[in-house]
């Protein structure tokens, strides 16, 4: 969803190519150095807890961070001066960087999911 807003904003304004490149690089770096570590820790947490309640996916501190990030995103979106071009550049770049970082780090969950499907299949000999 965040990535979608970035792409929508990108279509509404004419983007300088350097800003698009910066957003992509920042999203990639965020994924590699921050989000992948969190994703791997979450997969280990899921394995340790087994099947459990949805909110056990992350620690309470991580959930507080998620709520804070949602609040900050809403604040930026609805309280900021969205009529100003530089602010729209900032917002679109931020959305693209965050969305791309989340998308790239999700691969840890998908790999684990498909691996578990393959290992859970009974042998058919």
pLDDT in tens, 94-108: 888 999 999 999 999
pLDDT, tens digit, for every residue of 60-97?
888 898 999 999 988 988 888 878 878 888 888 888 89
**In what helix (H) or strand (E) does residue 75 lie, and over which residues does it extend?**
helix 60-78
In a domain, 61, yes or no: yes
Residues 67, 60 contacting (CB under 8 angstroms): no
Q: Is residue 112 part of a domain?
A: yes
What is the signed CA dihedral for 108, 112, 118, 121, rounded to 10 degrees? Answer: -160
Decide if 108 is inside a domain.
Answer: yes
In this prediction, residues 6-33 reach a mean pLDDT of 78
Domain that holds residue 95: 2-120
What's the rounded Cα separation, in Å, for the pair 46 and 90? 36
Angle between helix 2-12 and 85-105 (nearest 10): 150
Does residue 125 belong to any structural domain of this protein? no
- Total domains in the fold of the chain: 1
- The more confidently predicted of residues 119 and 10 is 119
Query: Does 6 map to a domain?
Result: yes
């Amino acid at each position: 969803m965040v990535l979608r807003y970035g792409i929508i904003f990108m279509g509404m304004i004419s983007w300088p190519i350097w800003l698009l490149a910066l957003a992509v690089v920042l999203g990639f770096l965020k994924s590699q150095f921050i989000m992948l570590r969190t994703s791997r820790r979450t997969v280990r947490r899921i394995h340790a807890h087994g099947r459990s309640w949805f909110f056990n996916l992350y620690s309470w501190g991580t959930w507080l961070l998620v709520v804070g990030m949602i609040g900050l995103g809403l604040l930026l979106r609805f309280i900021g001066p969205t009529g100003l071009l530089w602010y729209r550049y900032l917002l679109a770049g931020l959305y693209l960087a965050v969305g791309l970082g989340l998308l790239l780090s999700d691969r840890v969950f998908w790999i684990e999911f498909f691996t578990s499907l393959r290992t859970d299949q009974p042998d058919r000999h």
